[in-house]
Amino acid sequence: MTIGKVWFVTGASKGFGLALVKLLLLNGNKVAATSRNAADIEKQIPDHSENLLPLTVDITNGESVDKAINQAVSTFGRLDVIVNNAGYFILGSVEALTPQEFRQSMEVNVFGTFNVIRAAMPFLRIQQSGHIINISSIAGYKGNGNAASYNAAKFAVIGLSEALAEEVKPFGVKVTVVAPGLFRTSFLDKGTFMVAQNRIEGYNSEVLETAMRQINGNQPGDPDKLVAALVKLAEEKNPPVHLLMGPDAYQILTDARKAETAEIESWKHITLATNLDK
């Protein structure tokens, strides 16, 4: 078990983030845990030791993130593992979503992750060590109608992680992007799971909304097992860049890759006929 490391965890007041923070503290780690309101973390972990640093952070604000990272380093002396866990989901078709609604998904899921990485990397680079764990989703590998803003954001997190892994490898910093399937957290609760204000007849967004509401509380994934896997992941000398979480995630991606390969093969006569003539 990883003991004595310094973790920086976003979205720590509920869901995966809260479960992870509790496990880390139980095992003697030091944790800088962020939320939009640090009091929400302290309510969940009232009798915490000095190993927990609850921080009020707006991850979409670079200055707020910079301050939090600096405070974590000032308090604990270093950073070992960064977990970008904060997330935001809004349901709605591309046509129905307002630019503001779409942008909010990108701000939290993509720019929030970017801001934390950008603030943490100078310390990790100087240390010549560290592990950045970005929480994406199986929705970052397979698009779904009426979830485009979330798909776009989580696809971006995967691409960002792949590029980052190559960039920081010379500095001894590791990167893993984690793609969970459906886990029994509060992610689909009101306040995290949002619905676009506009509804356009014919897109049937209400069908997906109803399905998501019914799934909530019945997801097959165990969040405690997922966070235990993250702790083990941080111990690995050669961790993967990509890690799926959940049998459903594995099946969805396997099926998607098969369909994608079949489509590519069926249209390769066009793909391969686009070079300049010799």
List CB contacts of 252: < 8 A, sequence separation 6 or more: 138, 141, 142, 181
Q: Could you tell me if residue 208 is left (phi over 0), alpha (psi between -120 and 50 degrees) or otherwise beta?
A: alpha
Residue type at 278 in one-letter notation: K
Q: What number of residues does the chain have? A: 278
DSSP characters over 133-165: EEE--GGGTS--TTBHHHHHHHHHHHHHHHHHH
Q: Encode 237-250: b = buried (16+ Cβ within 10 Å), e = exposed.
A: eebeeebbbbebbe
Alpha helices by DSSP H, 45-111: 62-76, 99-106
Q: Quick one: which H or E segment has residue 33?
A: strand 30-35
| Contact (Cβ atoms closer than 8 angstroms) between residue 178 and residue 133 | yes
Q: Which of 22, 35, 142, 150 is catalytic?
A: 150
Q: Which of 35, 136, 137, 149 is catalytic?
A: 136
Q: Is 88 a catalytic residue?
A: no
Q: Is 136 a catalytic residue?
A: yes
Q: Which of 5, 30, 154, 174 is catalytic?
A: 154
Q: Is 150 a catalytic residue?
A: yes
* Residues annotated as part of the active site: 136, 150, 154
